[in-house]
Amino acid sequence: MKSSGIGGQAVIEGVMMQNQDVYAVAVRKPDGEIEVAKDTWQTFTKKHRALNVPFVRGIFNFIDSMRLGMKILSFSASFYEEEEEEKGKDEKKESVIMGIAMAAAVVLGLGIFFVLPMFLSNLFRRVIESRALMGFIEGVIRLAIFVGYVLLISLMKDIRRVFMYHGAEHKCINCVEHGLDLTLENVKKSSKQHKRCGTSFLLFVVFVSILFSMVIQVDDVWLKALLRILLIPVIAGISYEILKLAGRSDNWLINLISKPGLLLQRLTTREPEDDMIEVAIRSVEEVFDWKAYETENFGKVFEE
């Protein structure tokens, strides 16, 4: 399997696909029609080449993916709002509100995901002397919170539909990367799990943070909490490089460390319906010439 370089994201009743600086969002509107928006998106690492270095680029690419994610989610949600926004609405004001909401969500997420496990693990300090073991327990608590969160949101009807579109996104990419024509039937029989998935990235973040928690230990609880926050960019940078390596390698060791992420994707991806696959295919075709890719990599010839 050869990596195509395309990536994507599931949104509300739709799929976004990105190929280098171009992305397209395809959304199934309430009337059944597919609406497509296509645009360019230049990342921090392309604007500033000095940032495009290993263990640094991952931090900025993660921030970029969050920024683009918020933008396309807002686009897809606009078709399903109870009342349409007025055309003359102040876009600057809207972007400020979105930015504040995004910042608040990040702060809350960091607190729950990185700091809360540390305080919970401290409950075991009286019976456990080993710092490394304490760090491991902290990591296990962090993993439990993450998996529990995924399980909890998967019970929500709307989230389940997003997970189905997530499955459609993966199936399309797998279909192309395995040399199959991008048709409904071929996509349906393709895997809904992919090594370059954001779910796998987050799981790598958990595992890398466990190693850091076991190695870096201090006695002062507040200093420890501060270190947990300060090390997040480092952990994200390392996790990104592992994910990037996994996406382009079929080495047995890489496949082994990718297994937990692929298993977790059984929760974050669901088998899509045919009309969801049609949306995902439309999104791919807006940004990626899969016929040219198959000709180059698999020697296929297509009739004009």
| Number of separate domains in the chain | 1
C-beta separation of 42 from 32 below 8 A: no
- 212 domain-assigned: yes
What tens digit of pLDDT does each residue of 4-23 get? 889 999 999 999 999 999 99
- 265 domain-assigned: yes
End-to-end CA gap in the chain: 26
In this predicted structure, the answer to whether residue 90 has a pLDDT above a threshold of 80 is no
Cα–Cα dist 34/279, whole Å: 7
- 294 domain-assigned: yes
Cα–Cα dist 301/291, whole Å: 8
DSSP class of residue 114 equals: I
- 278 domain-assigned: yes
- 46 domain-assigned: yes
Query: Quick one: pLDDT at residue 199?
Result: 92
Query: Quick one: pLDDT at residue 184?
Result: 97
Cα–Cα dist 291/304, whole Å: 11
The per-residue DSSP string of 287-302 comes to H--HHHHHHHHH----
Amino acid at site 60: F
Query: Quick one: pLDDT at residue 88?
Result: 44
Angle at 170 between CA 165 and CA 175, to 5 degrees: 125
What tens digit of pLDDT does each residue of 155-199 get? 888 899 999 999 999 999 999 999 999 999 999 999 999 999 999
Cα–Cα dist 241/237, whole Å: 7
Range of the domain at 171: 7-81+91-298
- 304 domain-assigned: no
- 232 domain-assigned: yes
- 1 domain-assigned: no
